[in-house]
Structure 1
Amino acid sequence: MGVHPHQRQFKPINAFIIVVMALGSVAYGYSASIIATTLAQPSFYTYFNLASHSNENDIIGLMNSLYQAGGFLGTFTVAFSADRWGRRAGIAIPTTLVLVMGALLAGSVNLAMFIACRFWAGWGAYMLVSAVPVWMNEVVPAHGRGALVAVHGASLLLGYCLAAWVGFGFWHISATNNLQWRGPTLLQCLPAAILLPCLYWLPESPRWLVIQGRDEEARRILHKLHAPDEADHELIQIKAQAETEDRLDSSYWALFTKPSYRKRMILAFTTTVSIQFCGPILINNYGPTIYKSLGFSASKQLLYECGWLTLAFGGGLISLYVVDSMPRPVLFAGGITGAQVCLCIEAALVATYATSPESLAHPNESALKAAVAMFYVYIVIFESTLDSGQFVYLGELFPTHLRAKGISFGMAGVNLINIVWLQVAPTAFSTIGWKFYLVLIIPGMAFAVLIFFWFPNTRGVHLEEVAELFGDEVNHSVAQVVYHEKEESKGEDGHLNEREPSVLGAQKLFSHHEEVNSV
């Protein structure tokens, strides 16, 4: 790859910034997950009189799928705001939207208002979940980047977990009290309300600043984030690559017309879609409904959901250590295979012990508990390998000038497939039952094989060098220039001079090469 070392010197400020930014991940997780326990609150059904609607399943499906539809559109606005006004603005805008929509959802006076606000809440939440990893990837050092950015995945799982336990706690309030569902819904505003003012004290992405020609600001921020030698080293590489990318087309059209970019888009979209074929959104949003179909009481339905999401958070913490321990394709293929094996066993248990009239009349308690346990094994495998890893991978695939657009396109894949799953799931579970799992399992296993043999590994690769994996010679040249410029700029004490090196060497070298050598 490049000829310079990758070992970046880590500073505690990196961890502090990541933790603060993780509030955005928590805000998304809570917002996306609170609907699961809301749909299990008796007061919610009573207030909106859902039982009186003949198309109750369709309405429930609409509440979930419109959230994803809003998210699909929201992901495409991330690139505009993050590229035009900065990475911090790209986070501030959706944070504000999540805050406002959370309040309006909690205060909804009719079904139409609740459903409409779900759409806009999804818009803001998916903008947020797309914008945070863009910013994280551009701030943290390449060495250990996977673990640091995986905090994003672990934090959104913390949001899921909090939503479940808060919902379970409020379930014990009287079913005649609307606080039972309004309270948990309103609390989704809390992490957004904390994050919004904190953005003022967090640094802008140095890569975005260089693209805007604000090199001195970028230099100051890099010196805060890295040791002095590595900060100068990083600035040279960012500036050299930025000067090259400045001459390149950064439109969505370029993502589809330039072969190497198009390959990245296919990889990003396939990554997120293949992971969603494991069906996590179905188990998360319809968990209480699934447990109800297994014959468990209302309290156990919510309690099992809480336990499932608590284990999900635990899996997210495990991912901090797992995500950089193996090549990305091995991580994803192994995770998908493990999750799909769990779904195979789940389908077999449900088909055998929870479908026939006889099995429902005389339930096998041990088998039904085993079905719940299999969901628990599933979520640990899924979260420790796939959920956090996908955000790391999406951020690594794209160059700086296209990173926001690329991540938004990958997240659009999540929304598209989830719109389908969430809209059809209530009807599918009530009609074909366990066979619905086969719709996930068969394509999912095919995706695992595809990823293992075809996807490139980006683990530990500097963001400015990833392009070499796609045949773009320019980034290899940048790495060489950085190395030689760094060596030539050392003072007598062996350290880099404060104002040296420059990117003159890069400019000379680029004059002998084409801007891009596409695959």
Structure 2
Amino acid sequence: MAINYKDLANNTNPSWRHDPGMRRGMLHIVLLYFTVYSLGYDGSLLNGLQALPAWQRDLEYPTGTKLGLIAASYYLPKIPLAPVFSILTDKYGRRFTIAIGVFFMLAGAIVAGFSYSVAQFIGARVLLGVGTVAAQIGTVTLIPELAHPRMRHFAGSFLLTTFYIGSILSAWITFAMVYFPGESAWAWRIPALFQGVGPVVLGFGLWFVPESPRWLITKGRDAEAHQILATYHANGKMDDELVVFEMSEIKAQIEVSKVSKETSWMTFVNVASNRRRIGVIILIGLCTQLSGNGVVQYYLVPILKTVGITAPPQTAGINGGLAIMNWFVAMGGASLVERYGRRPLFLISLAGQLFCFVMLTGLAGGYDTTKIPAMGVSIVPFIFIQQAFYSAALTPLPLLYVPEILPTALRAKGVGLYGMSQNVAQTFNQFANPVALAAIGWRYYAVYVGVLIAFLVGFYFTIRETRGLTVEEAAVIFEDDDKKLEMMEAERRINEAAALRLASEQNELKKTNSKSESMEHDEYKNDV
């Protein structure tokens, strides 16, 4: 766009920490992060539970297909329900689907904690899957639409880092339960029940989080949207230059979408720019789960067994250490997205993971042939390095990049498609990984070498940079030049209308003030 939001006057403190409106806005965003906390908690929970003898005993020592079904049951409901919750998000608002997610996540945690059979435990994970997909679609759509332009990249990139806070808590609670006395069932029930902490905090915080201004404008509730933007982006100043600019950008994008009828699911197929978008979104969704992290995050115990590491304290400790390292690396990656850009971080991450999987394959194969303990143990550092490369980009970037390249009218639908592609890949992982590891062992790592090469090539040719742009500006980087000009013209018309309306309001205010001053003057003369 011709105007850079950084050049506009804005009634905020240069430091968001010292600005009351921006502080409140960031607090709301942090509360929404508890959606991802719940995802992260589950990410380490199954690994941790596999290290607990009581869980193995009560769930009849699941391996292979049974273990795959337990893991996949969390993702199976997400595939058909992602489009459904996307529609509900657009129809009833972002907060509505988050509230649905809170209910199902809390119900799933309670049922899991009091399960007495494999079937009940699988049912609990189905409930958790329904809840997390609903909450994730609402949250990922809402955060970039609420965040101040100066904070948008931080708000989006730090979102998924919260995954590791849940992961750390889950990993170390299950580690502590290794030493729970008497192999009691509470050794695994307590970690399962703690999965309800995230939904409780999220549900409480949701009462205070405002609705998306962009969604409100699509429903004709412009005054409410204007008030929210003014409150959190300009400390209540309704005629703030940045707020007026944001209102005009949002209206322009929505107007162009309505005129071109780009609001239906078929738009992703019929419009060339949206085909480019959806290709990138599906590529990112698949990459987040098929780049090898699914093997490490959910099947660390079987991996370590292939190189002779089997003691429960060792496997639980490595799981907990990975969670802590991943969190720190993800936080570092999130802080770099605006300095170095999205594209370089994506490419470095994939290249680093490719190198690590080459080394993992070689070391695991060498141990299988020689049975030298040192060679088996040496695989552990490369697991950590591979996870570090993954966390540096594929943790902070997807939930920032995916919503920002989508226009308002298609944002919830695009996020739903991202989630659906991700969950298809996750479901495949949960079924295929334990079976493949049991059948061919370390040779399975070589598959990911080929997959990572394919992803690296795909990202190189499709990812476009969005650094330094507002959410509306980032949404048009995949558009053709004609469409960009159309949006600029719509924005110009809306800006002119807004300027005329503002001038009229100011004239009315001057007349009112002048009349008031005249009346005060007459009263003064009469008193004299």
Mapped contact 1:82–1:404 kept (Cα < 8 A)? yes
Q: Does 1:64 align with 2:71?
A: yes
Amino acid across the alignment from 1:136: I
Q: Output the amino acid matched with 1:193.
A: V
Q: Is the 8 A contact 1:18 1:151 kept in 2?
A: no
Contact 2:108-2:126 at 8 Å conserved across structures: no
What residue number does 2:476 align with? 467
- Quote the residue 2:26 is aligned against: 15
Percent identity over the alignment?
Answer: 23
Distance change (3 Å), C-alpha of 1:427 and 1:469: closer
Deviations 1:21-61 (A, max 9, x none): 1111112211343122112211112113236xxxx321001
Specify the SS of the correspondent of 1:252.
coil
Which of the residues 188, 203, 226 maps onto 2:233?
A: 226
What residue identity is the alignment partner of 2:427? I
Q: CA deviation at 1:220?
A: 0.7
Q: TM-score, normalised by structure 1?
A: 0.88
Q: CA deviation at 1:125?
A: 1.6
Structure 2 length normalisation: TM-score?
A: 0.87
Residue of structure 2 equivalent to 1:149: 156
Matches within 5 A, 1:502-513: none
Q: 1:329 touches 1:455 (CA, 8 Å); kept in 2?
A: yes
Instruction: Tell me which structure has the larger Cα radius of gyration.
Output: 2
In structure 2, runs of 5+ residues without a counterpart are 17-21, 235-239, 507-528
Match 2:373 to one of 356, 364, 375: 364
Offset at residue 480 of structure 1 (A): 6.0
Q: Does 1:433 align with 2:444?
A: no
**What does residue 49 of structure 1 align with?**
60
The amino acid that maps onto 1:281 is: G
Match of 1:278 among 275, 279, 291: 291
Tell me which of 397, 401, 420 is aligned to 1:393.
401
Matches within 5 A, 1:260-299: 260-296=273-309, 297-299=311-313
Which residue among 459, 463, 468 is the counterpart of 1:451? 459
2:88 to 81, 93, 108: 81
Q: Decide whether aligned partners of structure 1 residues 122 and 81 sit closer, same or farther in structure 2, where only a CA change above 3 A counts.
A: same
Distance 1:68 1:306, change over 3 A: same
Contact 2:251–2:494 (CA under 8 A) maintained in structure 1? no
d(CA) in 1 for partners of 2:303, 2:166:
21
Query: 2:342 matched to 1:328?
Result: yes
Partner AA of 2:278 in structure 1: M
**Are 2:318 and 1:304 aligned?**
yes
Residue 366 (structure 2) pairs with residue 352 (structure 1): yes
| Aligned counterpart, 2:384 | 376
Change (3 A) 1:449 1:487: same
Q: State the secondary structure of the residue aligned to 1:67.
A: coil
Query: Is contact 1:429-1:436 (8 Å) kept?
Result: yes
Task: Note the alpha carbon deviations across 1:480-509, whole angstroms, 9 max, x for none.
Answer: 665797699779xxxx76969xxxxxxxxx
Pair 499,193 (structure 1): closer, same or farther in 2 beyond 3 Å: farther
Tell whether the 8 Å contact from 2:153 to 2:337 is kept in structure 1 after alignment: yes
Question: Partners of 2:435 and 2:504 in 1: how far apart?
Answer: 65
Shift of 1:142: 3.4
Q: Partner letter of residue 288 of structure 1?
A: V
Cα distance change on mapping 1:498 and 1:459 into 2, 3 Å: farther
Kindly tell me: are residues 41 and 390 of structure 1, through their superposed partners in 2, closer, same or farther at Cα, counting changes over 3 Å? same
Partner of 1:417: 425
Match of 1:319 in 2: 333
Moved more, 148-157 or 449-458: 449-458
The one-letter code sitting in structure 2 at the alignment partner of 1:243 is E
Paired residues of 2:306 and 2:442 also in contact (CA < 8 A): no
In the TM superposition, what whole-angstrom CA distance separates every residue of 1:72-95 from its partner, at most 9, and x where no partner exists? Answer: 233223212211111111211112
Where does structure 1 lack aligned partners over 5 or more consecutive residues? Answer: 501-519
Specify the alignment match of 1:512 in structure 2: none
Whether 2:47 is the aligned partner of 1:33: answer no
Distance 2:504 2:28 in 1: 25
Contact in 2 for aligned 1:36/1:288 (Cα 8 Å): yes
- Alpha-carbon contact 2:31-2:201 (below 8 Å) kept: no
**Alpha-carbon contact 1:331-1:385 (below 8 Å) kept:** yes
- Residue by residue over 1:277-303, the C-alpha shift from the partner in whole angstroms, topping out at 9 and shown as x without a partner, is 322122111112222332222110000
**Is the Cα contact below 8 Å between 2:464 and 2:477 reproduced in 1?**
no
CA offsets 1:79-126 (integer angstroms, 9 cap, x no match): 122111111112111121111111011111211111122223222223
1:2 paired residue number: 2
Cα deviations across residues 210-259 of structure 1 (Å, max 9, x unaligned)?
A: 00101111011001121232112111211222223234242222222222
Q: CA deviation at 1:476?
A: 4.1
